[in-house]
Structure 1
Amino acid sequence: MSEDSNQRVAITGMGMVSACGNGIDAFEKSLLEGRSGISAIDLFPGVTPPGHIGAQCRDFNDSSIKKEYLKPQRKSIKVMCRDIQLGVASANLALEHSGLGIKEEEDPRLGVEFGADLMLSPPDVLFGAVAASRNEQGMPTDTQWGEKGLAQMEPLWLLKYLPNMPACHISIYAKACGPSNSLTLEDANGNLTLGESLRIMRRGQADTMIAGTTGARLHVIKSINLTSLKEVAEPNGQAPEEVLKPFDKNRSGEVLGEGACAFILEREDKAKERNATIFAYVLGIGSSCVRHPKTGPDPKQAMVNAIRAALRSADVTIDQIGHINAHGSGSQTMDAAEAAAILEVFGDRGREIPVTALKPFFGNCGSGSGTLEIAGSILGLRHGVVFPTLNYATPDPECPLNIVHGEPLKTDNKIFLNINVTRAGQASALLVEGA
């Protein structure tokens, strides 16, 4: 099916749940004040991740979940793990922000595109079943599982941890009967959910899409896994909010977080018909995955490919882009690879174009990060600025980029590029224009 590239796709609503606050006003206030949401955590006991710090959604607690953010889905909360709760709440906020409202009848022209990480059970959820399946030596066995272990499982256990469930819950509440899809490409999800929505709408398959992502890397199992991969920064006596340093010479890794963000995308003509506020336009999408048989993932080449594909998709030149919102995880190797990719695509301008990285505000939320970054750039442009990269102090010769730091950078160029990449060599790039 052919695409109509002349069909403008507008963003008319945004909703987020993050360590910087929930909803537009709280999130925007944190960015304007340069206030990080990274702090000591109390989601689970112990000392994981290092220093027991992270970007925790503190305002998203048992009381607020039921009374405020998930009130329409309160009967379904029992089959939602935290990742799902965050994602559905962000979509509820986005729908409210857009002014669309919930129709009485099912809408075949409204679709949902939502991304999530793989979701894991906490150890205590499986403990009873595993303990029941032990043999005489006290070791869990598969031979005892069917007879003794399975009966100890929660009957609806699987529904709590399926990555397609955010889209399911959102579709049911919004009566969205148009295209529906769930993506599980970790950090690359954010750009892709908006990009796939763009393509769906340009093909004429929907007038409106709910697009977003959710991720909770602050999880006892995920935190241990990432810490063992040497991906997580050690505080080493620093204040929690000072630990994450994207592109800085003294960076030492990422800081784990949790969060979600959703957007309402509408055909421009439909948005104008209802006098909706237009915050931005989605221009183009690019993606790539590069892995070599002998050396494994090649994130740098994947980012190069994705950026170039996004430029072609949007019919935009590198000279038209006002700033780059980088993946900027704080990893020594990944930040250097991203800098190399930017320089390869942008040439000499790669050292001049403003680059920001917003994870020091809300941590690395995995799938949830990319959409939060996009929202950050859109909100900054509403104020005529690019928000700075927190904690950037010492330039790194391996990352010779023009990192926005200190104070917000004034700008009147509304077009920006958002980049995200995974350790597996999957990259995505999205071009957006502020309204």
Structure 2
Amino acid sequence: MKRVVITGAGTINALGANVSDTLEAMREGRSGISELDIRDVDRLAIKIGGQVKGYEPEERFNRQQLALYDRFTQFTLVAAREAIAQSGLKFEGELAARAGVVLGNSGGGMTTLDENYRSVYEEGKNRVHPFVVPKLMNNAAASHVSMEFNLKGPSFTVSTACASSNHAMAQAFQMVHGGLTPVMIAGGSESMLCFGGVKAWEGLRVMSKDGCRPFSANRNGMVQGEGAGIFVFEELEHAKARGAEILAEVAGFAMSSDAADIVMPSKNGASRAISGALRDARINASDVGYINAHGTGTAANDKTESAAVADVFGAHADRLMISSTKSMHGHLIGGTGAVELLACIMALRDGIVAPTINYDEPDPECALDVVPNEAREAKVDVALSNAFAFGGLNAVLALKRFA
């Protein structure tokens, strides 16, 4: 089996329009959550989110492209351009024929959907733009990445709610690991911060009106975010042969299903995914230094995840650093695992662990080192990225520092 490394990373999210700005914000413990600037926000009970502010699509795409690209696709292409540029890869000939893209996404073109429902039901129009379907479909972003970069190999979209990106990256890892292709583009995106998207989440009664405080005793819900994270997964020898810069090694993954409840998380399902990722990567639990938690800031998720970590790591859980960067950029739903993987890479490569900000008071049911409020310098050799989704679908990735 082939070893798999990351040779490119790209992002746009509430913390920054690229990787360097995002990591700087994480190091500073800066929040990207603010008041929403969307249509009909006054009709919403939830008026905050991790929204990408100051973004001008006309500066990045022409009119013909914007007619086809929903906001989630735009974010994906922005991040993919950064990642592939960093990797230095050109997809031509045999490499183009074998390389592909697997992306995670949950809602598809929610902005397009919202705008066109308004057009038909509110404004009474009887026709919509002929590109509405190709613009809102979940696989639009993956398809446009494949077209822009000449990726002719396996290309598809994974949609498993909040675990979508981790499931997608796991599939990409498996393809490179198994020798199907030397390179895959992987990650995810989401843009649900439109009236209908926020209103739908309001109905679940899991949203906070004033901020995301994962693991803190006074937490009162999650905060939505938007954006994309894209990575180049490459077979190690292929990367070394061309002198590529290596950001981290993807060592293994695991997936599990709770098979229990459509919205309530399960400690057993999460535990099986975490321990399975360690087993797949052939890593001892004692070797793990950092976990990027799913850490949504809801009462149920945070205590369940804390219990799962304690269950898997035992006495070593007290020596683990586990933080939730959702406290800064919000919950990107299908794109969240991809943006959060950047925190794992920063811990492994730069020795800086992103904090859980807004941490006010300890919760006895979340008795872990959550790196409260300030980033921490520490040598980390192994990091895990957790993602636990509605539907009881769990996906955990294991990464190693590449030396």
Larger Cα-atom Rg = 1
Pair 1:184-2:159 in alignment: yes
Counterpart for residue 72 of structure 2: 83
Counterpart for residue 364 of structure 1: 331
Counterpart for residue 256 of structure 1: 224
Q: Distance in 2 between matches of 1:285 and 1:174?
A: 27
User: Residue 162 and residue 55 in structure 1: after superposition, are their counterparts in 2 closer, same or farther (change >3 A)?
Assistant: same
Q: Distance in 1 between matches of 2:339 and 2:367?
A: 25
User: Residue 111 and residue 338 in structure 1: after superposition, are their counterparts in 2 closer, same or farther (change >3 A)?
Assistant: same
Q: Distance in 2 between matches of 1:152 and 1:256?
A: 31
In the superposition, the TM-score normalised over structure 2's length comes to 0.93
Out of 396, 399, 402, the residue aligned to residue 369 of structure 2 is: 402
Amino acid at match of 2:250: V
Alignment of 1:109-124 (within 5 A): 109-119=98-108, 120=110, 121-124=112-115
Out of 21, 34, 40, the residue aligned to residue 45 of structure 1 is: 40
Pair 1:36-2:31 in alignment: yes
Unaligned runs of 5+ in 1: 134-148, 236-242
Alignment of 1:34-183 (within 5 A): 34-47=29-42, 50=45, 52-66=47-61, 75-103=64-92, 107-119=96-108, 120=110, 121-130=112-121, 152-183=127-158
Amino acid at match of 1:181: F
Q: Distance in 2 between matches of 1:111 and 1:328?
A: 31
Deviations 1:92-148 (A, max 9, x none): 111112121454887112111111112334544124434698xxxxxxxxxxxxxxx
Pair 1:377-2:377 in alignment: no
Counterpart for residue 252 of structure 2: 284
Is the 2:106–2:161 Cα contact (8 Å) retained in structure 1?
Answer: yes
Q: Distance in 2 between matches of 1:8 and 1:334?
A: 33
Please say which of residues 199-208 and 284-293 is displaced more in the overlay.
284-293
Q: Distance in 2 between matches of 1:75 and 1:207?
A: 33
Q: Distance in 2 between matches of 1:386 and 1:13?
A: 20
Is the 1:321–1:417 Cα contact (8 Å) retained in structure 2?
Answer: yes
SS at match of 1:88: helix
User: Residue 356 and residue 185 in structure 1: after superposition, are their counterparts in 2 closer, same or farther (change >3 A)?
Assistant: same
Alignment of 1:206-217 (within 5 A): 206-217=181-192
SS at match of 1:327: coil
Is the 1:197–1:211 Cα contact (8 Å) retained in structure 2?
Answer: yes
Pair 1:344-2:339 in alignment: no
| Percent identity between the two aligned chains | 29
User: Residue 64 and residue 52 in structure 1: after superposition, are their counterparts in 2 closer, same or farther (change >3 A)?
Assistant: farther
User: Residue 413 and residue 332 in structure 1: after superposition, are their counterparts in 2 closer, same or farther (change >3 A)?
Assistant: same
Q: Distance in 2 between matches of 1:127 and 1:250?
A: 38
Unaligned runs of 5+ in 2: none
Is the 1:115–1:212 Cα contact (8 Å) retained in structure 2?
Answer: yes
Counterpart for residue 275 of structure 1: 243
Q: Distance in 1 between matches of 2:54 and 2:11?
A: 12
Deviations 1:70-92 (A, max 9, x none): x7xx6332122111211122111
SS at match of 2:366: coil
Is the 1:288–1:427 Cα contact (8 Å) retained in structure 2?
Answer: yes
Q: Distance in 1 between matches of 2:361 and 2:53?
A: 31
Counterpart for residue 383 of structure 2: 416
Q: Distance in 2 between matches of 1:126 and 1:44?
A: 14
Over the aligned positions, Cα root-mean-square deviation in angstroms equals 2.1
Is the 2:216–2:362 Cα contact (8 Å) retained in structure 1?
Answer: yes
Out of 359, 362, 385, the residue aligned to residue 392 of structure 1 is: 359
Matched residue pairs, number? 400
Amino acid at match of 1:174: F
Q: Distance in 2 between matches of 1:64 and 1:296?
A: 40
Counterpart for residue 22 of structure 2: 27
Out of 8, 13, 19, the residue aligned to residue 8 of structure 2 is: 13
Deviations 1:360-408 (A, max 9, x none): 2211110111111111221233321211111112110111111112332
User: Residue 159 and residue 320 in structure 1: after superposition, are their counterparts in 2 closer, same or farther (change >3 A)?
Assistant: same
